[in-house]
Amino acid sequence: MDADEKLPLSEEILKNIELEEMPFFSILLKCQRLARISNDIDALEWFTQEIIGFESGDGGLTEKGASTASRSNRQTIHTDPKTQEKSRKFFTQTLSSIEKELESHEIRAKLNGPNVHAIERNTSQAKIRDLSSLYQKIKGSVYSYVMNFNYNLKYGNITESIFDHKRTFVDLKLKEICPDAISKFVSVYNNLRSDNEEDWANSVHSCRRILKDLADSIYPPSEIDVVTSGKKIKVGNENYVNRLMLFIESKEGGNSFESIVGSHLKYIGERIDSIYEAANKGTHSSVQKSEAERYIIYTYIIISDILQLV
């Protein structure tokens, strides 16, 4: 039930804020529930302190209190005119206190008559500006959190879905034209599960072999150079990037397609080759897991683009 409740609850909170349908204190209680059912401990602490007050000690706000107050944009940076040293000042009034003080000053600012001093009205008007600004900052911070939460629920899985779609297309197409590449992708996944940096590098090497297998299938190697635009291009066994680029050029995919895919292919091919060559020379080429994952994703996307031309 909690999972099903998150999206409609976030939609409801956004509507409450946008249309000012209820006191902001009540909206915060809803935000508190949203954070709780989402197991967002930091946000839960933030909303709780907004409701009951910020954690403080003898020296003022604690580190946790300062962190949550900062999240609500409740701070200003003060610069000492003499020393130029900067210090933070936090406004820690509870929302209910801010609302009551605003109401009081709004009443005073509207008073007229011989017993109402202009200075008092001006003071109240200045207070209204300051408190309203703080109030809007707090509301804006809360609104941004709920908006991002709502956006991630709606669209957070789109990228993953797009990649899954491309991967399915690539796997089915590779089975037709170079089935050995599928087993290499299995090796890629196995290496990625490892905690060993050498295995991550091996997954990148597998990407190179997959791209080479694809090139061998759709543009076989030759010892005879290809002349295009007045330039000689090598298309030997190891020149798999050149062969893939020539295959793309041979298809009517459009200049824009050729330029984008070709530039991506050249970049990834060069980086993968540098890692491969370093390994062959017995030198160390550091590959982080995130980097290996990125090359694998790029490889899938490039292969998907090329296979659309097959």
3-state secondary structure the chain: CHHHHHHHHHHHHHHHHHCCCCCHHHHHHHHHHHHHHCCCHHHHHHHHHHHHCCCEECCEECHHHHHHHHHCCCEEEEECCCCCCEEEEECCCCHHHHHHHHHHHHHHHHCCCCCCCHHHHHHHHHHHHHHHHHHHHHHHHHHHHHHHHHHHHHHCCHHHHHHHHHHHHHHHHHHHHCCHHHHHHHHHHHHHCCCCHHHHHHHHHHHHHHHHHHHHHHCCCCCCCEEECCEEECCCCCCHHHHHHHHHHHCCCCHHHHHHHHHHHHHHHHHHHHHHHHHHCCCCCCCCHHHHHHHHHHHHHHHHHHHCCC
Q: Above pLDDT 70, what percent of the chain?
A: 86
**Based on the domain organization, do 294 and 188 belong to the same domain?**
yes
Quick one: 6 and 151 in the same domain?
yes
Over 60: is that where the pLDDT of 3 sits? no
Mean pLDDT of 186-190: 84
Does residue 90 sit in the same domain as residue 198? no
Residue 220 has pLDDT above 90, yes or no: yes
Specify the pLDDT at position 223.
92
- pLDDT at position 32 is 95
Burial class (CB in 10 A: 0-12, 13-18, 19+), 47: buried
> C-alpha distances in angstroms, 193 versus 168, 182, 241, 253?
21, 17, 28, 36
Same domain? 114 vs 225? no
The confidence score (pLDDT) of residue 46 equals 93
How many structural domains compose the chain? 2
115 vs 301, higher pLDDT = 301
List, for residues 261-302, the tens digit of each pLDDT value. 767 677 667 767 776 665 555 444 567 787 788 788 888 888
257, pLDDT greater than 80: no
Whole-number pLDDT of residue 255: 61
Residue, of 218 and 109, whose pLDDT is higher: 218
180 plus 281 within the same structural domain: yes
Model pLDDT, residue 112: 65
Q: What is the mean pLDDT of residues 176-200?
A: 84
Look up the pTM and report it.
Answer: 0.52
User: Which pLDDT does position 12 carry in this prediction?
Assistant: 94
Question: Are residues 16 and 121 both part of a single domain?
Answer: yes
* pLDDT tens-digit series, residues 47-78: 999 999 999 888 788 988 888 888 888 888 77
- Residue-level pLDDT at 1: 42
Judging by DSSP bridges, how do beta strands 226-228 and 231-233 pair with one another?
A: antiparallel
Predicted pLDDT of residue 247? 87
Round to the nearest angstrom and report the end-to-end CA distance of the chain: 47
Q: Which domain holds residue 52?
A: 2-155
Judgement on whether residues 6 and 145 belong to the same structural domain of the protein: yes
Q: What is the pLDDT of residue 283?
A: 47
CA 79 to chain centre: 34
pLDDT, averaged across the chain: 82
Q: What six digits make up the tokens of 186?
A: 């299995």
User: pLDDT band for position 260 (50/70/90)?
Assistant: low
Distance of alpha carbon 240 from alpha carbon 246, whole angstroms = 10
Distances from the Cα of 40 to the Cα of 37, 47, 177, 223, 259, angstroms? 8, 11, 47, 61, 44
Number of C-beta neighbours around residue 29 at 10 A = 13
**Confidence check: pLDDT of 157 > 70:** no
**pLDDT digit string, tens, across residues 294-308:** 788 888 888 888 888
Rg from Cα positions in the chain: 31
Q: Are residues 142 and 168 in the same domain?
A: no
Q: Residue 172: which region, alpha, beta or left (left: phi > 0; alpha: psi -120 to 50)? A: alpha
Mean pLDDT along residues 188-194: 84
CA neighbor of 201 nearest in space, from 266, 267, 268, 295: 295
172 and 123: one domain?
no
Residue 140 has pLDDT above 60, yes or no: yes
Of the residues 138, 155, 172, the one at which a domain ends: 155
Last residue of a domain, one of 125, 155, 185: 155
28 and 123 fall within a common domain: yes
303 in the same domain as 168: yes
Among 92, 126, 155, identify where a domain stops.
155
Tell me, yes or no, whether 27 and 54 share the same domain. Answer: yes
> Is the pLDDT reported for residue 91 higher than 70?
yes
